[in-house]
Structure 1
């Protein structure tokens, strides 16, 4: 009985591994991008493994005493391997299509029937091998739960740093201002070169009329977690590590060894050295934790859905129930289950965006910082705006173009505040994408729409958008040089030392 129960726990852990797999091995990629403790999420993951394992155990024990047990066992052997391949196909180092899974399932079923009908002795041996494999699954399940328990001991770093000059009424600030805005996944192609005819972006166009547009910026990567530290430090980063005590080390392209990176190795430190007040509000990366030594004011947030339809701030029972309910839906309608997960993704991203918007507008409206960095979660998928309704949406169905309209709305709010300040004439404004629209990541997801397909034209344009408004600039300019995006780092250093961003 104990052996069978442990085997059921092991099977449950493998069925659910897509929900918690990123937390195994230390969970660095999850820990780095969540501002809150993962204790509740880990407990819910463990509860799901135990609940599903117990349910499987009860069903098998109940059927064991019936005359149908041999057929149930045969059906079990038929279905479990193909089902596990289907559930975990994204973990394979090669593409596993649904068609391939179906072919494998048919071949597997035919092989089992052949053994059962013609070679029953070999069939019994195969069942014993499966029974032994169940023991290894049990070991996997126990080890997985042990690692989840370990992650519960992790303590997140700082989410916020409050500067004294952000509290209460302050005298007007007389100092040049540099505002650097990154809209995640902002594409040059979609904004300027082949903009959709029904996509109105009045605020982006207004900024374009008094800024320099860079038409041939070359990406320095596809992952935000590497690109933004590269822009901060001035060196192209091709790998990184995030320790259990929240220390960040990076590997620079073409260099040997690993290098610690904190605020002292960034443009924020350079700004402080020449007397600039620094502030950052950002998404996804733990800005206050890593770069806090060079930031006078800081806030970062990411309330996005974690794997398994869980959320950092949701209650235990909500987190425990949501993945199991989605698993049940998936059994009779995989498309519906995927759409429900997408809806949760949209609702959680909406919360993230509202949080970032509030803190971004607050730091800009205070007009006390001199170097402001803002990293927004848009137009990155999932899409949370509806052009049709001119409002936020709480469900899947919007497109990348809808999120571009939201980018324009956010930029308009920021421009209104910036241009109302006496410091506007001394303000340099940089608006960019960290990378372009990565269509190859999204075109197979449930969030992908027909409008996305039409806008992308079935391809990928690698150029991120970049606009630079120099202080006092009133006319549009165009720079068509092909340059790596690291150019932005040099432009920022120019401004900090009293020059125009563009040499």
Structure 2
């Protein structure tokens, strides 16, 4: 009897884990990337996860016990209904955890075949049907054993967070005295050199990028520094390759420079921004995706970051009770067509654009990075109507990036230090067709554009540098790694590179094969 009770408890725990997969997956990931991308602390979130998991396990145990009492031999259709529910929850949970993002993957495509096969077994091979039920129960039992490490890990995680952090800060800045040298770095996320300048989609006009290209140093053959923003941008800050990252339970970034190498802690005091401060420059970042205000606390005088929302509906500044009930309230809202209120693309973009304008206009900041979520998918712009909103594609986002460039250049031109401001335009990586194709947000136009290039992933990112007063183009056609951009910024800030000619000489002098 004790063995039977233990088995039912473990099967119930396995069922509960399946039910709560969408809220547990990111929390128990060994890389803790979920923590890296959230505003900390997430104590109430983790506590809510623990409570929801325990409740799901109790519910799962009650359900398994009831099925076992009704049909311990596994010969009724109730077990088939139970199996299809579990399959739907697995797929739905992985979609909620953003592990599954492919457009073609939806729960019905998984539970429907299970339902059909199970029904056929029940009609024509009842013994095989019963054996399948026993196999399902064994799988649930094995999964239920995981509760013995999941719960302790979550409990420990709920007690290991540091103090509260904010998504922005501003330290006292010296009064603006006179026009002076500045560097404004605009990072357009996922901008492809090929799509912007070489094989531009017919009918797409990028007049502001074209104008800038005609009066700047343009690097046409940059080699990428990686595939993911979390790795590339910190590597540009450090001037050091990053091939793998993870976060500590406190959300701090750890990285490896070579595969299988030892883990290192990201240190903002070893970045180009800290070096600029040591030379007397004030520094600031306005950015998306990366938790810049945590990464760079000691190396910045101003910071504003926009962390992207997760689909689990948890909010760090809500109470534990509010987060416990959030999944149920979210599901109810979905069923009643009253979903949770989340910021719209218009609101999110308006926020980061407003902060970008302010940071660039603030001449107390000498070295400013603006990391924009453009033209990164999914599309948030309609180039035909000129309105921001969902439904567009990569080409539309390129058009919005061009419009945004014009707005921010206008802000630069209105500053007293405009004639002493070096403008750096870059991207972290190119348009990652293999990643986005078939994912949610991929449009028919995206498919057509990608097909026109044979679905080739042209890896070249963008790097354009305009020095004050520059009016003619200076092409740099030599293959160079994007990682060299770190050294370039260091020398621009120190004054060693101050003209197109000096930058081209620097590029030519860079060693090959590094």
Shared fold by TM > 0.5? yes
Q: What's the TM-score bracket when you normalise by the shorter of the two chains?
A: 0.7 to 0.9
**Is the 1:288–1:300 Cα contact (8 Å) retained in structure 2?**
yes
Q: Among residues 337, 347, 353, which one is paired with 2:349 in the alignment?
A: 353
Tell me whether 1:496 sits opposite 2:489 in the alignment. no
Return the match for 1:299 from 289, 301, 304.
304
SS of corresponding position for 1:237: coil
Rounded to whole Å, the distance in 2 between the matches of 1:19 and 1:199 is 41
What is the aligned partner in structure 1 of residue 144 from structure 2?
138
8 Å CA contact 2:359, 2:365 repeated in 1 = yes
Structure 1 gap segments, 5+ residues each: 330-336
Q: Tell me the distance in 2 between the aligned counterparts of 1:103 and 1:72.
A: 15
> Does the aligned pair in 2 maintain the 1:34–1:284 contact within 8 Å?
no
Deviation at 1:442, TM superposition (A): 1.4
Equivalent residue, structure 2, for 1:324 = 331
The answer on 1:419 being equivalent to 2:416 is no
CA-CA distance at 1:421 after TM superposition: 1.8
Q: 1:14 maps to which residue?
A: 18
SS of 1:196's partner is coil
- Classify 1:297/1:77 alpha carbon distance in 2 versus 1 (closer, same or farther; 3 Å): closer
- In structure 2, relative to structure 1, the CA distance for the partners of 1:67 and 1:488 (3 Å cut) is closer
Unpaired runs of 5+ residues, structure 2, are 507-514
Change beyond 3 A, Cα 1:55–1:383: farther
In structure 1, which of residues 374, 377, 384 is the aligned counterpart of residue 373 of structure 2? 377
Once the two structures are superposed, what CA deviation does each residue of 1:59-117 show, in whole Å capped at 9, x if it has no partner? 7777788799952334246636754675559969xxx988899778766766676652x
Q: TM-score with structure 1 length normalisation?
A: 0.81
* CA distance in structure 2 between the partners assigned to 1:235 and 1:43 by the alignment: 37
Q: 428, 441, 451: which is aligned to 1:447? A: 441
Q: How far is 1:306 from its partner? A: 1.0
Which of 453, 463, 472 pairs up with 1:466?
463
Shift of 1:157: 4.5
| C-alpha distance in structure 1 between counterparts of 2:51 and 2:345, whole Å | 26
Counterpart for residue 509 of structure 2: none
Structure 1 residues 225 and 13: CA distance shift in structure 2, 3 A: same
Distance 1:2 1:390, change over 3 A: farther
Post-superposition shift, 1:270?
Answer: 1.7
Q: Structure 1 residue 422: deviation in Å?
A: 2.6
Q: Is the 8 A contact 1:279 1:371 kept in 2?
A: yes
1:165 aligned residue (164, 173, 183): 173
- In the TM superposition, 1:69-80 aligns within 5 A as 70-76=75-81, 79=84
Shift of the alpha carbon at 1:380? 1.5
Match of 2:41 in 1: 37
Q: Number of matched residues?
A: 479
CA 1:352/1:33 → structure 2, altered by over 3 Å: closer, same or farther? Answer: farther
* Alpha-carbon distance change, 60 to 158 in structure 1, aligned in 2, over 3 angstroms: closer
1:116-135 correspondence to structure 2 within 5 Å: 116=126, 120=127, 127-135=133-141
The equivalent residue for 1:391 is 387
In 2, the alpha carbon distance for the partners of 1:468 and 1:276 equals 19
With over 3 angstroms needed to count, the CA separation of the structure-2 counterparts of 1:44 and 1:198, relative to structure 1, is: farther
- Give the drift of 1:446: 2.1
Instruction: Give the TM-score of the pair, scaled to structure 2.
Output: 0.80
Partner of 1:219: 224
The equivalent of 1:332 in structure 2 is: none
**Which string of whole-angstrom CA distances, capped at 9 and with x for unpartnered residues, describes residues 100-136 of structure 1?**
99778766766676652xxx4x765654454444334
Aligned counterparts of 1:316 and 1:97: Cα–Cα separation in 2: 28
The answer to whether the 8 A contact 1:363-1:369 is kept is yes
Aligned partners of 2:222, 2:299: CA distance in 1, in Å?
28
